[in-house]
Amino acid sequence: MRLLAIGDIHGCLRSLTTLLDAVSPQSDDQIVTLGDYVDRGPDSRGVLDRVIALHEAGQLVPLRGNHEIMMLEARTRRMRGWLACGGKQTLASYGIPLERIEAYAQADDWFNDHEELFEKIPVRHWKFLGEDCKPWHESDKHIFVHANIYPDLPLHEQPDSMLYWEKLTEPCPHVSGKIVVCGHTMQKRGLPLDLETNICIDTGAHNEGWLTCLDVLSGRLWQANELGEARMGWLDQCEEWTE
């Protein structure tokens, strides 16, 4: 059995498909996705269809990211903020014309009547974002979160502001002694950030970077991008990819 973590996908279906083909998950593997399935990339709808299928097959533990929170909140408030953070691309992936989306983004009364923008989003997608996705996941030796955690608090006491929004800037060993695996803090070099006690695998899939999968038990690493390219190696040796 492998314990596989996948970083921020951000609507990059080709990257996700290429990555899964390279990893070739087996029936006894467990996959933990770290959130941010939607926004910025070209096919958020396709990404959600793929991860929902994995979840329904019993292989996926999906975490919620801050972009899922923004999308959920956009149904009743903060619509303009979500559109500015990649929501336009997400709505477009459901076949909503961009000019219609732009009209809502610019209208003075945008908050009064925008539910029609969400008509094409399947109920199953809303259920996945709002109910199936979890704030964190814990295994024997690892903690998985989207963004970060306070080192001295148990997981059930972690505030949403930390779980979904706080950047990882320095080693932050958790009191449990477990390694914390996260996304959210984009690594512009396209390589994971390994701080030993904390590992960040958001490697900029939507920003001409890579989508990363890490086998946290062995350190095996796979990456794929929107060009359909893939590469694989080991966490402690991936710096060699830039040489």
Residues 11 and 62 sit within 8 Å (Cβ to Cβ): no
pLDDT of residue 141: 97
pLDDT of residue 137: 98
pLDDT of residue 80: 82
pLDDT bracket for residue 38 (50, 70, 90) = very high
Among 68, 93, 96, 95, CA closest to 82: 68
- The whole-angstrom distance between residue 221's C-alpha and the CA centroid of its chain comes to 17
Residue 109 reports pLDDT greater than 60: no
- Other C-beta atoms closer than 10 Å to the C-beta of 28 total 8
Q: Quick one: what percent of the chain has pLDDT higher than 90?
A: 84
Residues 199 and 182 sit within 8 Å (Cβ to Cβ): yes
Which domains are assigned to the chain?
Answer: 3-69+135-242 (3.60.21.10)
pLDDT bracket for residue 126 (50, 70, 90) = very high
Element (H, E) at 22: helix 13-23
